[in-house]
Amino acid sequence: MFSRSLVDFLRAEFSGGEVRFDNAEFSGSMVAFTSARFSGGAVGFGSAEFSTGAVGFDDAMFSGGEVGFGGAVFCGSEVGFGGTVFSGGTVDFRGDDLFGAQFSAGEVDFSGVADWSFPPSFPWTDTPPPGVKLPKNEDQSRA
């Protein structure tokens, strides 16, 4: 549980192996993955709960490997991807048919990404849920 604290993964490199934040609770804290590099291996946020507080992936780079948010719940926090590069690998918010990410409140902001050439997969096919901001004039579905 990340509660009422500051956790900083500044410039962390996820380039092999497996890191799991599954079932983590991000509640009332500030968690920063600023300038983190996701270039190999697997990082999981499966069934994590983002409820109040802020999580930043600002200037992060997703260029390889697999990052999964299947079953994650976004219900009142601010999650930002400003300056983030999505240029390779798999970033998946869909999970499977029963456990895609849920967006019910708060804000998940992709509008300021630096590179959207290999966008994440989302659990919707047309209009994103309220609170999800996507880059303008891009194909956001990757269904």
In tens, the pLDDT along 37-81 reads 999 999 999 999 998 889 999 999 999 999 999 999 999 899 999
Domain ranges of the chain: 2-12+19-121
Mean pLDDT of the chain: 90
* Spatial CB neighbours of 128, under 8 Å, sequence gap ≥ 6: 103, 122, 134, 140
Q: Which residues of 69-102 are buried (b: 16+ CB within 10 A; e: fewer)?
A: bbbbbbebbbbbbbbbbbebbebbbbbeeeebbe
- The model's confidence at residue 140, banded by pLDDT at 50, 70 and 90, is very low
- The model's confidence at residue 99, banded by pLDDT at 50, 70 and 90, is confident
Residue 133's pLDDT is: 96
Q: How many CA atoms lie within 13 A of 31 on its CB side?
A: 20
Over 70: is that where the pLDDT of 104 sits?
A: yes
First-residue to last-residue Cα distance in the chain: 32
Per the listing, tokens 């209009």 go with 127
Residue 137's pLDDT is: 67
**Mean pLDDT along residues 118-130:** 93
> How far is C-alpha 8 from the geometric centre of its chain's CA atoms?
16
Residue 130's pLDDT is: 92
Torsion of CA 50, 55, 60, 62, to 10 degrees: 0
pTM for this one? 0.88
Which run of H or E residues covers position 133? strand 132-133
Over 50: is that where the pLDDT of 34 sits?
A: yes
Torsion of CA 24, 30, 134, 88, to 10 degrees: -60
